[in-house]
Amino acid sequence: MENRKRYEKCKAFTLVEILIVVIIIGILAGLMALIFGSSTETAERTACRGDRRTIKSAYYVERAESGKTFKDSLEEAMERFTKVKNLNVTGDTAVCTGVCHAGGIYTITTTSDDKLLISCSIEGHDEEKMDRTKTIYGQVVDAHTGMSGWPSGNALMELVKELLDGDYIYDGKEYYTKVDVKGKNPPLLYASEQKYTNGTNRFKADYVYNSETDKWYKCYPSISTSSMLGDIRQQIYDSINKGSEIIYYKDNKESERKDITWTEVSDFVPFLK
C-alpha cells in the first residue's frame, strides 16, 4: 500500500519541470522562427536582385533594337513584368512599385553613357553595391600605401575616375566621386557636384563615404577638404560619429570651425555595378 501511494505521488510533473519544458519549447520555437525568417529574407533578396537584372536586360534590348528614349524603352521593358503596379517616369528618373517581393520601391535612373541604375528601398537588397564601394575604397587605400615618396592625390583621383567610369546621377544631379589625402594619412572617398577641375572647388564634398560603417553620408553644409589639415578622414569620421566640429585652416592657422549635419543615405551608391 505504501509503495502504491509513493508511486501515485511521483506520477505528476512538478512546477519546476513544467517551466523547464516551456522554456525549452520557447527557445526551440524562437530558433525555428529565426531560421525560417532568415530563409525568407534571403529568398526575397535574391529574387529582387534577379528581377532588377532582368529589367536591365530588357531595357538594353529595347534601346538597342528601337533606339527609343529612356522613358519609352523603360515602359516597354516593364510591360514584361505583370507584377508592376505603378511606374512613374520623370525626365531621367523613374519610380516603380510591385516588382520586389518584399514590397520595395525601385528607383531607376540612367547615366550619361546610358547605364541603367536600379536601387531598391528595402534595406539589405542593395548590399552588393555597397560591397563594391568597399572593394574600390580598398583599391584606393592599396594604391595610396604603395606610393613612394609623398603620395599623390591626383593619381588617386585618376584611379577613382577609371573605376567609376563616368559620373553618377542621383536625385536628378550629376556627382563625381573623388579622393583627397594629406600625406601618409588614410585617403578620404567623397562625392561632389563639382567636376574634376583644378582649384579648390574640386575638393568640395557633398557626400562622404565612411569606410568604418560602409555607408555614404550627406553633409550639410558641404565640406571643403582643401581647407583641412592632418588626418582629414579621421576628422570627418569623428564629425559623423561623435558630432565633432570640422576645423578649417588658412595659412596653417585655424580660421573657422563648422558644425556639420550628417544624414545617412542608403540609396546613394556611385559604384553601382
Average pLDDT for residues 241-258, to the nearest whole number? 92
List, in order, residues 6 or more apart from 6 with CB less than 8 Å away: none
Pairing of strands 173-180, 188-192: antiparallel
Distance CA 99, CA 58 (A): 14
pLDDT tens sequence across 168-217: 888 888 898 889 888 888 999 999 988 766 555 568 899 999 999 889 99
pLDDT for 1 beyond 60: no
Specify the DSSP class assigned to residue 154. Answer: H
Q: Sorting pLDDT into bands at 50, 70 and 90, what band is 243? A: very high
Distance CA 117, CA 70 (A): 12
247: helix, strand or coil: strand
Q: Which three cell numbers stand for residue 178?
A: 573623388
Q: State the pLDDT at residue 135.
A: 76
Closest to 170 measured CA to CA, from 62, 46, 268, 67:
268
The backbone region for 214, taken as left when phi is positive above 0, alpha when psi lies in -120 to 50, beta otherwise, is: left
Distance CA 205, CA 196 (A): 12
Asked whether 219 and 261 are in contact (CB, 8 A), the reply is yes
List, in order, residues 6 or more apart from 54 with CB less than 8 Å away: 80, 81
Q: State the pLDDT at residue 201.
A: 57
Distance CA 158, CA 196 (A): 9
CB contact burial 102-130 (16+ within 10 A = b; e otherwise): bebbbbbbbbeeebbbbbbbbeebbeebb
Residue ranges per structural domain of the chain: 2-29, 43-120, 127-264
Q: Sorting pLDDT into bands at 50, 70 and 90, what band is 245? A: very high
Distance CA 126, CA 265 (A): 12
| Alpha-carbon torsion, ordered 100, 104, 105, 109, to 10 deg | -70
Asked whether 231 and 205 are in contact (CB, 8 A), the reply is no
Distance CA 207, CA 216 (A): 7
Burial class (CB in 10 A: 0-12, 13-18, 19+), 193: middle
pLDDT for 64 beyond 80: yes
Strand 215-224: give its sheet, edge to edge. 168-170, 173-180, 188-192, 204-210, 215-224, 261-264
pLDDT above 70: percentage of residues in the chain: 78
pTM to 2 decimal places: 0.55
Instruction: Name the residue with higher pLDDT: 132 or 36.
Output: 132
Asked whether 87 and 78 are in contact (CB, 8 A), the reply is yes
pLDDT for 25 beyond 60: yes
pLDDT for 166 beyond 70: no
CATH code of 127-264, in short, is 3.30.1690
